[in-house]
Structure 1
Amino acid sequence: MSGAAVGVDTTSPVPPYEQIRAQRAALITTGRPAEGERLPTVRQPAAGLGPAAGTVARAYRELESAALIRTRRGGGTRVAPLPAPVPRPGPAEPAALARRFVAEARALGAAERELLEAVRGALRE
């Protein structure tokens, strides 16, 4: 079971559940604890940190919603497999997208000036 240090700052304006969630998420995404490793029960961190078990349970629900952990009845709460990183587009993808945009906009009768204004506007958003 992972005993990675997670703390709650009672003077912080950030709610305790969010502090726990953010700290656990940061640890999980850096591989501590590792995929499949069991996390402490809701009552264990609550006893050590001071917040109510419901606060820790909310943090765990948020982590489960983010697909960082999985809870199974009788199996405890374990670190879920991290999703594969989304590959960054190579230089060919934006160029192909721009060509499709220009072709469709020209088919609608848009002038070059209108296209450039549209792109500049989208970049500013």
Structure 2
Amino acid sequence: MTGPAVRVDTTSPVPPYEQIRAQLAALITTGRLAEGERLPTVRQLATDLGLAPGTVARAYRELETAHLIRTRRGAGTRVAAPPPAPKHLDPARLAALAQDFTATARALGADTEAILTAVHQALD
């Protein structure tokens, strides 16, 4: 992963595994992490973040369950191919994206007003 770094705020009420999952999901769904890009190993990311490997493993498991990453023995963990574009708006998917964004924003220290301002600016 040569792109943006994942950060964990240990003072946040959001669990570290969820901060990692939300940040990586946001990077993947926005295309900042491209299909096939290799992610750090569980041990390496845990060491980089000063966390237990089980914390990172849980985030990776959840990302794999969501089909955002895939892990293959010998090939490592890589960003999965994006799913085909839906033909209609999926409210559950939109809600999940909003949750990922807000969890990541809160992990960075943003309050509700800052989050809403960012969304409004992105829409303009």
Q: Same fold (TM over 0.5)?
A: yes
Query: Can you give the 5+ residue segments of structure 2 that lack an aligned partner in the other structure?
Result: 90-124
**Match in the other structure for 1:103:** none
Aligned pairs for 1:61-80 within 5 A: 61-80=61-80
Deviations 1:11-54 (A, max 9, x none): 11111000000000000111121101110111111111111111
TM-score, length-scaled by structure 2? 0.68
- Residues 3 and 53 from structure 1, CA distance in 2 versus in 1: closer, same or farther, beyond 3 angstroms? farther
Provide the C-alpha distance between the structure 2 equivalents of 1:76 and 1:45, rounded to a whole number of angstroms: 13
Deviations 1:68-105 (A, max 9, x none): 0000011100000111121128xxxxxxxxxxxxxxxx
Q: Is the 8 A contact 1:34 1:79 kept in 2?
A: yes
Alignment partner of 1:35: what SS?
A: coil
Moved runs in structure 1, 4+ residues, more than 3 A?
none
**Match in the other structure for 1:83:** 83
Provide the C-alpha distance between the structure 2 equivalents of 1:73 and 1:49, rounded to a whole number of angstroms: 23
Number of positions where the alignment pairs a residue of Structure 1 with one of Structure 2: 89
AA at the equivalent of 2:64: E
**Match in the other structure for 2:47:** 47
Greater shift, 78-87 or 60-69, is seen at 78-87
Higher Cα radius of gyration:
1
**Match in the other structure for 2:6:** 6
RMSD: 1.3
Provide the C-alpha distance between the structure 1 equivalents of 2:40 and 2:3, rounded to a whole number of angstroms: 7
Provide the C-alpha distance between the structure 2 equivalents of 1:77 and 1:67, rounded to a whole number of angstroms: 12
Identity of aligned residues (%): 76
AA at the equivalent of 1:27: L
TM-score, length-scaled by structure 1? 0.67
Alignment partner of 1:78: what SS?
A: strand
**Match in the other structure for 1:98:** none
Q: Is the 8 A contact 1:2 1:40 kept in 2?
A: no
Query: Can you give the 5+ residue segments of structure 1 that lack an aligned partner in the other structure?
Result: 90-125
